[in-house]
Chain A
Amino acid sequence: GEDVEQSLFLSVREGDSSVINCTYTDSSSTYLYWYKQEPGAGLQLLTYIFSNMDMKQDQRLTVLLNKKDKHLSLRIADTQTGDSAIYFCADAHQAGTALIFGKGTTLSVSS
């Protein structure tokens, strides 16, 4: 079945860049999302990218998509302690369909 994989942990120092990677198996995915979840809280949509794009930048966030390799990454520039959270990669066939989530990457930022 469809699957989304992520590395489980990433530890960086404040001010460094963070790169969180994700791979997916469904070649018909048209939307790919990054969500942030802080402890005990719900999901916050960070950004998303259409499958016909290969890059999207939004302030400190840069999403890169390699559709051939089904690889998605999220780069956070100038990482801050407030960025510490779990980051979920998710994909969908089209907007508004149920999302398939990865297991989440726990980002730990040390000062």
Chain B
Amino acid sequence: GAVVSQHPSWVICKSGTSVKIECRSLDFQATTMFWYRQFPKQSLMLMATSNEGSKATYEQGVEKDKFLINHASLTLSTLTVTSAHPEDSSFYICSARDEANLGEQYFGPGTRLTVT
């Protein structure tokens, strides 16, 4: 079945540093990937839609200069949290759309970011 991986699975960084999270579709190509954020005991909130070869589309209230998204290939999207602060600590989950399978969406295992 379709598999999506994320790397790293968890990361701890200091305030002010930047962190890059990778989302890869392992056995299919994905022109569209989605980035979600989940706070403890909360639902997943869509942050942005990542489109291969073009700019990402951000949801209202999400700072595009803080959360940089790059979708440079059909199997990889990256989310960079720039100048991270403790309030950015969260669980970040990506999903990838498999166009060859009716556009079905597959989720990665998530990345837990802790900013100290």
Give the bracket for the number of chain A residues in contact with chain B: 10 to 19
Give the bracket for the number of chain B residues in contact with chain A: 20 to 34
| CB closest residue in chain A, given B104 | A95
CB contact under 8 A between A42 and B93, given known A88-B43, A98-B46, A104-B43:
yes
A81–B41 alpha-carbon span in the complex (Å): 20
Over the window 54-71 of chain B, the binary record of Cβ atoms lying under 8 Å from chain A Cβ atoms (1 yes, 0 no) is: 000000000000000000
Inter-chain CB contacts under 8 Å: number:
52
- Restricting to B95-116, which residues have a CB under 8 Å from any CB of A? 95, 97-99, 102-110, 112
Q: Is B26 at the interface (CB under 8 A from chain A)?
A: no
Per DSSP, chain A at the interface is loop
User: Which chain B residues lie closer than 8 Å to A71 at the CB level?
Assistant: none
Per DSSP, chain B at the interface is strand
Over the window 25-66 of chain A, the binary record of Cβ atoms lying under 8 Å from chain B Cβ atoms (1 yes, 0 no) is: 000000000010000111101000000000000000000000
Contact B103 A95 (CB under 8 A): yes
Contact of A41 among B44, B49, B103, B109 (CB under 8 A): B109
User: Which chain B residues lie closer than 8 Å to A41 at the CB level?
Assistant: 109-110
A95–B100 alpha-carbon span in the complex (Å): 12
Known: A41-B109, A41-B110, A42-B93; 7 extra A-B contacts, CB below 8 A, are A42-B6, A42-B108, A96-B32, A99-B34, A99-B44, A103-B43, A104-B42
